[in-house]
Amino acid sequence: MQISRLRSDQFFSFVFCLVFLLIQGSLLPLEPVQSLSQVSSLELIQLDPIPVVKDYQSLVNLNYGQSPQLSQVTAQSYLVVDLKSASILIEKNKDLPLFPASTVKLMTALLARDIYDLNNVIRVGQEVEVVGHQIGLRPGQEMKVFDLLKAILVNSGNDAAQTLAFNHPFGYEGFIQGMNLKAQALSLTNTYFTNPTGLDDYHQVSTSWDLALLAKEINKDPVLKKLVNLQQASISDVAGFSNYQLYNTNQLLTKYDQAIGIKTGTTQMAGQVLVTLWKEASHELLIVVMGSQDRYQDTLYLVDWVSDNIEWIDYDSP
């Protein structure tokens, strides 16, 4: 009799467990949510991880569906950041070290602002005879720092960058060391500088994320922010004997009012590089493309992607 009672208890326990599992299973959704478009805004905010970028003035509804624009982007690495909220809207290989080309001059300009007054006059030395793009400076000329900054940010003059570097209080090596120390201070963890011009060097690398951080610093400086948006400028040496007409190499500045900077770069090893500050609606976007075959078209594809996939929604902050 004892054995029969134990078997009956086991049988009822088994039936109870089976019924419990069936009830629990019926409480689960029959089908998973297939896309963000099927979820309400309130549900989006409650999801974890949150597919919504939130700042004090807007919600950004992200839709990461496939798009024809992204399939046509040629860049090895790209990144789009909402400057206000510091939110990454889209990226590919943002931490991949690549050759930065003349976008290096953004750091050259930032460090020059740290060590020189804009009205400082410095002498052009023999080291000005450097390969690559130049504005035509000659040894012995005296130039204002402000004009040299125009030369590197508008016309990407390697000779102007060299002049700024060699006049550092601790010489050229001191300037390069200063660039790397500032990179560390700005948390450019995958960036290393070996020259102030961006000429190819196997040790000189950066990433699209680091270049976005660097561009953000440029945007904080009212002088540099204005310079990177100039389509052209005129400078001269202190004596007034030599005048230079500078033209910006960034084609987007002449074609689109939304483009307000920042820097181009092209070398054999880097391919085409472009850092763009783009105003979309009430937001400023930082767009970086590296290792591109067509930097301008790639940037426009990313702008189109933002237009098609990002919704800026105003709301009242709590």
- Statement to judge: residues 240 and 215 lie in one domain: yes
With a CB cutoff of 8 Å and minimum separation 6, the contacts of 178 are 111, 114, 115, 168
- Statement to judge: residues 166 and 290 lie in one domain: yes
- Statement to judge: residues 115 and 10 lie in one domain: no
Cβ contact 212:80 at 8 Å:
no
Is residue 61 in a domain?
A: no
* Pairwise pLDDT comparison (208 vs 5), residue with the higher score: 208
SS3 (DSSP) at 283: strand
Query: How many domains does one find in the chain?
Result: 2
Is residue 63 in a domain?
A: no
Is residue 231 in a domain?
A: yes
pLDDT at 17: 53
What is the torsion angle, in degrees rounded to the nearest 10, for the CA atoms of residue 107, residue 112, residue 113 and residue 117? -170
pLDDT at 7: 53
pLDDT single digits (tens) 192-242: 999 999 999 999 999 999 999 999 999 999 999 999 999 999 999 999 999
- Statement to judge: residues 121 and 45 lie in one domain: no
SS3 (DSSP) at 265: strand
Rounded to whole angstroms, the Cα distance separating 298 from 292 reads 8
pLDDT at 312: 77
Is residue 62 in a domain?
A: no
Task: Please give the helix or strand (H or E) that residue 12 lies within, else none.
Answer: helix 2-27
Could you tell me the two tokens for 300? 């426009």
> What is the DSSP code string of 215-254?
HHHHHH-HHHHHHTT-SEEEEE-TTSS-EEEEE---HHHH
Dihedral (CA of 107, 113, 118, 120) sign: negative
- Statement to judge: residues 158 and 209 lie in one domain: yes
Cβ contact 229:221 at 8 Å:
no
- Among the candidates 18, 33, 56, a domain finishes at 56
Rounded to whole angstroms, the Cα distance separating 23 from 51 reads 32
Is residue 274 in a domain?
A: yes
CA distances from 36 to 13, 47, 71 (A): 42, 10, 21
pLDDT single digits (tens) 35-90: 333 333 333 223 233 233 333 333 344 444 557 778 899 999 999 999 888 889 99
- Statement to judge: residues 52 and 184 lie in one domain: no
Cβ contact 149:243 at 8 Å:
no
- Domain of 111 in residue numbering reads as 68-314
pLDDT at 69: 76
Tell me, rounded to whole angstroms, the distance of Cα 32 from its chain centroid: 35
300-309 b/e with 16+ CB inside 10 Å = b?
bbbbebbeeb
Is residue 14 in a domain?
A: yes
- Statement to judge: residues 45 and 84 lie in one domain: no
- Statement to judge: residues 102 and 153 lie in one domain: yes
- Statement to judge: residues 119 and 22 lie in one domain: no
Rounded to whole angstroms, the Cα distance separating 315 from 60 reads 11
pLDDT single digits (tens) 252-309: 999 999 999 999 999 999 999 999 999 977 889 999 999 999 999 999 999 999 988 8
- Statement to judge: residues 36 and 158 lie in one domain: no
Cβ contact 292:75 at 8 Å:
yes
Is residue 24 in a domain?
A: yes
Is residue 195 in a domain?
A: yes
> Tokens 């400078």 belong to which residue?
235
- Statement to judge: residues 242 and 291 lie in one domain: yes
> Would you report the helix, strand and coil content of the chain in percent, each value rounded to 5?
40, 25, 35
Could you tell me the two tokens for 271? 């391919």
pLDDT at 32: 35
- Statement to judge: residues 51 and 79 lie in one domain: no
User: Letter for the amino acid at 202?
Assistant: Y
Peptide bond before residue 139 is cis, with ω within 30 degrees of 0:
no
